[in-house]
Every structure is written in structure tokens, then in C-alpha cells.
Chains A and B, each alone.
Chain A
């Protein structure tokens, strides 16, 4: 793959958008049906063996989608190289931190319940 291929980013953007949409629909259906939405229900849902991987997938898709979108905005509006690099790194750090947080939270839960 070429470094500045535009196609990969474009594909990532579209595929992640589809994934996000699909997972939101699945989540919506899960939440709509079943017992009342209290803390116990949220907790049970989020830590279910089937739902937890979907949550990771959702945040991965969300991060990828946000990365391409934000990068595009930066490429359009921020021309000075140093500033561009700084803003891009800041975005990457935030998205990475979100991902790590999601993984850590779920990992902590599964570690204690084992």
C-alpha cells in the first residue's frame, strides 16, 4: 500500500460507518426489548459474552471513523506542518485513550468474574 493512497482511508471510512450503523441498530433492538433499563440491566448487557466483543468492535469502528474524518478536516483547514502534526497527534492520543479505556474496563470485569 502506498503511504498516501487515498483509497484505504476512504474505504475505512465507509466500512466503519456501516459497522457503526449496524451495531447501533443491534444495540437499539437489545435495549428496546426485555426488562426495564436499570443499572443491573446495563451491566448485564455490557458484560455479556456476546455483547462485550460487539462493544469493542463498536468503539474500534468509531475510532477509525473519527480518525479519518478528523484527519480530513485537518488536511483541509490546517496548513502549517508543525501545527498539523500537533493536532493530528492530539486526536490520535484521544482516540487511542478511549480505546484503551474500553478494553481495560471490560478486561477488569472479566478478570474479576473468572
Chain B
């Protein structure tokens, strides 16, 4: 199988380049990540992140044939050759396919991704009705892989000020939580030309999420919540 992979090593001082590989998948190789692991036994200078190899840790997000995805969830079968692999677009490259996620996580932390509840925890748990719990479906499953934010043109232009689809999905996850008491402060924080309203509803985020989530829908819900509050 033919691959063309973005290579960059900051220590050599050379500009980034695309390197061609030709590697035969072994019998058990089903996903792109399997092939990358095989490739690395031949060329151990090739750098990429991975951990769980089953779509849970979110560390092997990369741009695969022009589309962001997780290597571990991308089937080898049907991939157009040569498979072109690049680091997540718009993110600073540390080395090869490894990008700097500092800003991405700073945005995530800015929305206070934790439950804010003033009452002391009850003896067992803060209970929810099945309906209230249902509202968190499609929100809590996010693995923070950044495929969406790195595919969002608005995030490419303003990565320092726009929170991006991943952070906004999480913001809504806590706004929607019946146990959270900080909804008003959360909405205050988001009502900003940059943080929330840079989103132009291009919907690349929803289109590309490897977990099938819909950040653009969550963003719409935040806008509706803001609208309801001010009317």
C-alpha cells in the first residue's frame, strides 16, 4: 500500500516535506493505525500519537486524504492510494503528525468543563430523571480528538479567540446538565462575537466528527438558550 506522509523534524532545521512509503499490510491489519505501527517498525523516526487504538483516547487524529479522522477507526479497505497523511490542519506542528494541542485544551478549560453545584453532595448521588439524563446524550461522548476544531474554517482564522466546535460542544454539555447551577454565568461567558459567534454554521465539525457527534447542533442550542434568556 502506498502512503505519502508529512515529515517535519524541528531538530534538523529542514523545511517540512512529504515522504513516500510503500508497505504491505499483514493479514491482521484492518485499520490505518495498524499500518502506521507496521511502518514504524521499518522507520522508527516516524512520529505520531496513539494509545487506545479503538477510538476512545482521541490521540491519533490526523488529516487522512484531506479529511480529519482517527487512524484507528479508519479502515484500510477502500482508502484511496497513495494515502496522504498530514497533521491536523491549523494546529502548530511539533513533529511529523504530532501537533501542539495547548491552545485547544486552553479553550476547553475556559468553558469550565466540570459540574458546578453549590449544594453539598448528597449521600449517594445527584439524581436526574431519565429525561434529564437523556439530554446529555450526544454531548458527553466527545473524546476531545480535535478533528472537528481542526476542520473548522472559523477556528483556522481565529484559533486564539474562537472556542471552536469541540469546546462549545462541551460548554453545551454543562449548560444542558440539570444538576449544574451556573447556566447564567456560562451563557454570559459565551455571548461574545469571538467565543461563540465566530461560528458561521459551516457544519464541517458535524460532518467530520469520528464519533458521530454534532457540535453545530450544540452551538445552535446555545444560541437558542441565549435568545430565550434575553426575550
Stretch of A5-13, A36-44, A52-60, A94-102 at the chain-chain interface: A5-13
- A2 in contact with B191 (CB, 8 Å): yes
- B193 in contact with A9 (CB, 8 Å): yes
Q: Which residues of A contact B223 (CB under 8 A)?
A: 7, 10
- A6 in contact with B196 (CB, 8 Å): yes
Interface assignment of A75: CB less than 8 Å from any CB of chain B? yes
Contact of A6 among B154, B158, B193, B230 (CB under 8 A): B193
**Interface CB pairs A-B, < 8 A, 29:** A2-B191, A4-B192, A4-B194, A5-B192, A5-B193, A6-B191, A6-B192, A6-B193, A6-B194, A6-B195, A6-B196, A6-B197, A7-B197, A7-B223, A7-B226, A7-B227, A7-B230, A9-B193, A9-B197, A10-B197, A10-B223, A11-B227, A72-B200, A75-B193, A75-B198, A76-B154, A76-B157, A76-B158, A77-B157
Bound-state CA distance A11–B223 (Å) is 10
The DSSP consensus for interface residues of chain B is: loop
| Shortest beta-carbon contacts, A-B, top 9 | A6-B197, A6-B193, A76-B157, A5-B191, A7-B226, A7-B191, A4-B193, A6-B192, A4-B192
Bound-state CA distance A4–B157 (Å) is 18
Q: Which residues of B contact A6 (CB under 8 A)?
A: 191-197
Q: Which residues of B contact A76 (CB under 8 A)?
A: 154, 157-158, 198
Contacts of A61-114 to chain B: CB distance below 8 A: 72, 75-77
Contacts A2-B191, A6-B194, A9-B197 known; list 11 others, CB within 8 Å: A4-B193, A6-B192, A6-B196, A7-B197, A7-B226, A7-B227, A9-B193, A72-B200, A75-B193, A76-B158, A76-B198
